[in-house]
Amino acid sequence: MSFGTWIVVGAIAGVLASKLVIRTGVGLARDIGLGIGGAIVGGGIFAALTTPDAAGIDVFGLVVTLASAGASLVVYHTLFPHVRQG
């Protein structure tokens, strides 16, 4: 997968996780950044471990990138819990 795909998937994961975890949308920019960072790290590791011909957009690569973006958000929100409002 390409670097741009990692960024798009990470941003989507950040938006979704922000709405699911916080529910108020507070910290949306932080969550998008964490999602993008996690997706880049996970996508980079996946690209380094797979063969060069598997670098295209494939379902497994998309799942790995999405999971790593989600994992970075879960770890952050577990280590730094926020008080929910409402």
**Strand blocks (E) in 1-86:** none
Residue with tokens 């964490």: 34
* pLDDT tens-digit series, residues 10-58: 888 888 877 776 665 567 888 888 888 888 888 888 888 876 655 456 7
CA dihedral 65, 66, 68, 72 (to 10 degrees): 140
pLDDT confidence tier of residue 69, bands split at 50, 70 and 90: confident
Q: Which domain holds residue 41?
A: 3-79
Domain-embedded: residue 84: no
Domain-embedded: residue 86: no
Q: What is the mean pLDDT of residues 58-68?
A: 79
Domain-embedded: residue 85: no
pLDDT confidence tier of residue 7, bands split at 50, 70 and 90: confident
Model pLDDT, residue 24: 58
Number of domains in the chain: 1
